Amino acid sequence: METYRKAIGRAAAIVMAATWMVGAVYPAKAEEDMWPSLRSEVFGDRPIKESDGVVILDAPSRAEDAAVVPLTVRVPPAVKGPLKSMWLIIDQNPAPVALTVTFGPAAGNGGGERRFTTRVRIDTYSYVHAVVETDDGTLHMTKAFVKASGGCAAPAPKDADQASADLGKTVVKSFDPALQTAALREAQIMIKHPNTNGLQMDPDTRAYVPARFIREVAVRRGSELVFKAETSFSISANPNFRFTYENASENTLEVTSIDTDETKFVGHSTQVSITQ
Amino acid sequence: MCTLDQLKDRHSPCECETSEITAVLGRRPSRRAILTSALAFSAAPLIARMPAMAGSTLAVSDIAPGVFVHQGRYELQSPENRGDMANASFVIGNDSVAVIDTLGSAKVGRELRAAIKAVTDKPIRYIINTHMHPDHVFGNAAFKEDNPEFVGHHKLRRGLEARAQSYMASSKDMLGEDAFDGSEIILPTKGVDDTLTIDLGGRSLVCEAQKTAHTDNDLIVTDSTTGTAFFGDLLFSGHIPTLDGSLRGWLSLIEQLEGRTVARVVPGHGPHAMHMPEGILPEKQYWSVVAADVRRLIKEGNSLTEATKVAGQSERSNWKLFEQYHVRNVIAAFAELEWE
């Protein structure tokens, strides 16, 4: 919860300063290095190993749609043992910590490449930092620069009426691996939610619509946790996660998410055989 | 249209098709005179463009009696084009004039107004916006002095209000202070719930609100006298279509539109006038290919990133500005179709 509160506090401060609503603030702002302060805010004085090959971040150098930027964190097969946690931090966003993931026993111990993909909003030219904590408590970090603009300040959904229909509908797919004996399999979660950031004006009341977004996602296989994520409104509308987890005899997932109105949504996975 | 600054440095020079009829209007010329000059200009397209570049009035062509169209460039917003990158039309009745879309800045809006005033002294009573995008609405400000009715889809107001700040900021940024000066969001004063008939005196315009397609506030306008339909950005030709609504909605609307009998149709981006159904077939093909590719990739378990690399690439050579808009279209298509 601490990260979430920090993110909100930061968002409020920046909104009051009204800088990010102007949109055209990037190059000067992007030159400002936010990382040292973010780093100490999130990780204190813990040492972080930089670009040591434990964590790889795939991000587009240019975001075609700043409101839907796919980011993939990969941990190569050479890294053994369970992972403890992961952070995705978009330095220049109003809520920089896009998500904090805590992995559980069903996330797997490796034996293949571990991946975690989500879609984020990126408000301006920004570094994205991916940090992974391995089982020994060491933090590993890598970063990528993404040219984007207006991801957060382009809040309006394409179809305003459709966006609020089926709120919380959760679709979970668990993909059968090509090899039945593979150590890891992949799953995808889609949650229908506008993930509003509080900066949209209600046309009737002319007041800002209060922020309402998914703040927590928990994924379980039976009684075992795959992961639990704290999320901010830096996650795109209709939050989407794709990730690897341990391939076992029973792979059905239960996904529980909670939004900032404390509404809870639940979904269960269907098993999908990929026919290529 | 696009207002994102990220596209700015990919800006490409004008590659507009030279239209078959390009007439630069002087003072109230007859239709015959316009056509004659059009023919002369078509043999010397450079001459035809010069007056517009000098900033006098915008080049407009009459495509049917009392129906005039200005063709915008196939470009992103820039200080050079001042937001002149969509088609704008006007229809003259016995009593009054209706303008259909006003281009992308108050500046080019004023030039459009001057071009109208050069053709007719009848009052401009209606400004109709086919949808919310900046390249179709920011010229509205130039017509405030006419005190017209601003007409749009009943969801246009909401669409514009939700995006007012980002449209203002990004358009100002893309166009530059100079070209953007005086531009503002003007909200519709008359919303169209289903259909609305506008009487211009001796001719009427029928406005029809559409379900979500290019955007969630698309309006089709048809001139009853000449059978001319103004499709706004439901029809792109040459310029790649852009998706800010629903791909499924757009494809099903295209099927309906194919069956329409109209004398001619004016696209939002493309030549002055086209025939149906031929005019809409390339766009139908583009969206059909994108939809089929994206659906297949989803079914095969591919990610969004993988889809952006391959979906719809076979359409690349068919469209201007493919590089600038196609991947965004695929992202929008994927985010919609993955919920099927």
Q: Report ipTM (2 d.p.).
A: 0.86
Q: Do B304 and A70 touch (CB under 8 A)?
A: yes
B121: exposed, middle or buried (C-beta count within 10 Å: 0-12, 13-18, 19+)?
exposed
Tell me what pLDDT residue A34 has.
93
Chain A with chain B: Cβ pairs closer than 8 A: 111
Q: In angstroms, what separates the C-alpha of A46 from chain B's closest C-alpha?
A: 33
Q: Do A158 and B166 touch (CB under 8 A)?
A: no
Of residues B337 and A210, which shows the higher confidence score? Answer: B337
Tell me what pLDDT residue A162 has.
80
In this complex, the residue of A72, A117, A201 whose CB is nearest that of residue B162 is A201
Q: In angstroms, what separates the C-alpha of B63 from chain A's closest C-alpha?
A: 33
Amino acid at position A84, single letter: K
Chain B residue numbers touching A74 (CB-CB < 8 A): none
Q: Residue A26: in which H helix or E strand, if any?
A: helix A26-31
Question: Cα(B288)–Cα(B307) distance, rounded to whole angstroms?
Answer: 15
The conformation of residue B10, written as its DSSP 8-state character, comes to G
Partner B contacted by A273 (CB < 8 A):
no
The residue among A29, A64, A175 with the most chain B CBs within 10 A of its CB, best to mutate, is A64
In this complex, the residue of A21, A66, A240 whose CB is nearest that of residue B6 is A66
Taking the CA atoms of chain A, what radius of gyration do you get in angstroms?
Answer: 18
Short-list A178, A173, A203, A202, CA closest to A189 = A173
Res A13 pLDDT > 50: no
From first to last of its 340 residues, chain B has per-residue pLDDT tens of: 444 333 433 333 333 333 333 333 333 334 433 333 333 333 333 323 333 334 457 999 999 999 999 999 999 999 999 999 999 999 999 999 999 999 999 999 999 999 999 999 999 999 999 999 999 999 999 999 999 999 999 999 999 988 888 899 889 999 999 999 999 999 999 999 999 999 999 999 999 999 999 999 999 999 999 999 999 999 999 999 999 999 999 999 999 999 999 999 999 999 999 999 999 999 999 999 999 999 999 999 999 999 999 999 999 999 999 999 999 999 999 999 999 9
Res A47 pLDDT > 50: yes
Q: Are A25 and A124 contacting, i.e. CB atoms less than 8 angstroms apart? A: yes
Q: Where are the beta strands (DSSP E) in chain B?
A: 61-64, 67-70, 88-92, 97-100, 124-128, 149-153, 190-192, 195-199, 204-209, 219-223, 228-236, 264-269
A272 sits in the region (left: phi over 0; alpha: psi -120 to 50; else beta) called beta
Q: Are A213 and A259 contacting, i.e. CB atoms less than 8 angstroms apart? A: yes
Q: Do A24 and B161 touch (CB under 8 A)?
A: no
Question: Own/partner pairs for A160-167, CB < 8 Å, 24+ apart?
Answer: A160/B155, A160/B158, A160/B159, A160/B162, A160/B216, A161/B212, A161/B216, A162/B212, A162/B216, A162/B246, A163/A194, A163/A237, A164/A194, A165/A192, A166/A192, A167/A192, A167/A193, A167/A194, A167/A263
Nearest chain B residue to A201 by CA: give it. B162
Question: Cα(B318)–Cα(B243) distance, rounded to whole angstroms?
Answer: 17
Q: Residue B165: in which H helix or E strand, if any?
A: helix B156-180
Beta-carbon neighbour count of residue A85 at 10 Å? Answer: 17
In this complex, the residue of A149, A201, A274 whose CB is nearest that of residue B6 is A149
Res A104 pLDDT > 90: yes
In this complex, the residue of B169, B216, B246 whose CB is nearest that of residue A24 is B169
Tell me what pLDDT residue A183 has.
97
The conformation of residue B9, written as its DSSP 8-state character, comes to G
Residues 73-102 of A with CB under 8 A from B: none
The residue among B1, B6, B8, B160 with the most chain A CBs within 10 A of its CB, best to mutate, is B6
Tell me what pLDDT residue A165 has.
79
The residue among B154, B156, B165, B246 with the most chain A CBs within 10 A of its CB, best to mutate, is B165
Q: Do B245 and A159 touch (CB under 8 A)?
A: yes
Short-list B85, B127, B75, CA closest to B105 = B85
Q: Do A23 and B338 touch (CB under 8 A)?
A: no
Q: In angstroms, what separates the C-alpha of A200 from chain B's closest C-alpha?
A: 6
Question: Cα(B242)–Cα(B320) distance, rounded to whole angstroms?
Answer: 12
Give first-to-last CA distance, chain B, whole Å.
27
* Average of per-residue pLDDT across A161-166: 80
Chain A residue numbers touching B246 (CB-CB < 8 A): 158-159, 162
For chain B, what are the domain ranges? 41-279
Partner B contacted by A162 (CB < 8 A):
yes
Partner B contacted by A63 (CB < 8 A):
yes
Partner A contacted by B9 (CB < 8 A):
no
**Each residue of B165-181: b (16+ CB within 10 Å) or e?**
bbbbbbbbbbbbeebbe
Amino acid at position B274, single letter: M
Res A204 pLDDT > 90: no
B237: exposed, middle or buried (C-beta count within 10 Å: 0-12, 13-18, 19+)?
buried
Residues in CB range of A131: below 8 A, 6 or more apart: A43, A48, A55, A86, A87, A89, A139, A140, A141
Does the pTM exceed 0.90? no
Q: In angstroms, what separates the C-alpha of A115 from chain B's closest C-alpha?
A: 12
Question: Cα(A230)–Cα(A97) distance, rounded to whole angstroms?
Answer: 9
Beta-carbon neighbour count of residue A179 at 10 Å? Answer: 10
Res A86 pLDDT > 90: yes
Partner A contacted by B114 (CB < 8 A):
no
Q: Do B5 and A68 touch (CB under 8 A)?
A: no
- CATH class of the B41-279 domain in this structure: alpha beta
Tell me what pLDDT residue A158 has.
80
In this complex, the residue of B6, B243, B339 whose CB is nearest that of residue A148 is B6
In this complex, the residue of B212, B301, B335 whose CB is nearest that of residue A274 is B301
Q: Do B303 and A117 touch (CB under 8 A)?
A: yes
Question: Cα(B115)–Cα(B82) distance, rounded to whole angstroms?
Answer: 16
Task: Show the tokens assigned to B93.
Answer: 């009745």
A25-39, A156-170, A247-261: which is most confident:
A247-261
Tell me what pLDDT residue A157 has.
76
